[in-house]
Structure 1
Amino acid sequence: MWVSAGILAVAVIIVIKEVPYLLRKRLKKELLVFSILLLFGTGLSIAQGLHKDIPNPMDRIAFVYKRFSDFIFSFLT
């Protein structure tokens, strides 16, 4: 619980520091990307802080390429 509160507190501090500058400069696209990345990163950090199992994207990529490499290797041997 304290980990989540700490992560949210840091995220709020980042928002307080960065968002006024982006609004003042009228950087709407950058603000959208900033918001999405901050929400994604905050969510992943909270999940990791709560010891939840976070899937690794490399596992799926390796699964696809392993089948492909096995298929190609079968022709070469």
Structure 2
Amino acid sequence: MIKMWTIAAILLAAAAIAILEIPSLMKKRQYKEFVIVCCLLMLGTFLSIAQSLHMKLPNPLDFITFVFQPFSKFILALLQ
């Protein structure tokens, strides 16, 4: 029951942000910004709902570690 209210609050906040931001972007004919705002708002909404449902979300730091760990090992090997 609590999860339902949490999801409803997240959707209400996302709708409020959309109502405040989208009309001004459309009035100024800023279509690229409109697309970016919509994509980021949807991404944030989906991630917030997933987190409220206690789903396992990937940690960005794990990807950064995976990418830079071989470089780090190479530098350490040069310094020893």
TM range (shorter): 0.7 to 0.9
What TM-score do you get using the length of structure 2 for normalisation? 0.84
* Identical columns (%): 49
Partner of 1:29: helix, strand, or coil?
helix
Structure 2 counterpart of 1:65, one-letter code: F
Alignment coverage as a number of residue pairs:
77
Select which of 8, 18, 29 maps to 2:32. Answer: 29
RMSD: 1.3
Amino acid at match of 1:24: K
Aligned residue in 1 for 2:6: 3
What is the Cα deviation at residue 32 of structure 1? Answer: 0.7
Quote the Cα distance in structure 2 between the aligned partners of 1:52 and 1:68.
32
Q: Which moved more, 1:30-39 or 1:59-68?
A: 59-68
Unaligned runs of 5+ in 1: none
Unmatched tracts of structure 2, length 5 or more: none
Q: Which runs of 4+ in 1 moved over 3 A?
A: none
For the residues of structure 2 that align with 1:30 and 1:76, how far apart are their CA atoms? 47
Query: 2: distance between equivalents of 1:23 and 1:75?
Result: 55
Partner of 1:17 in structure 2?
A: 20
How big is the shift at 1:26? 1.0
Query: TM-score, with normalisation over the residues of structure 1?
Result: 0.86
1:40, distance to aligned residue in structure 2 (A): 0.8
CA distance in 2, matches of 1:73, 1:7: 46
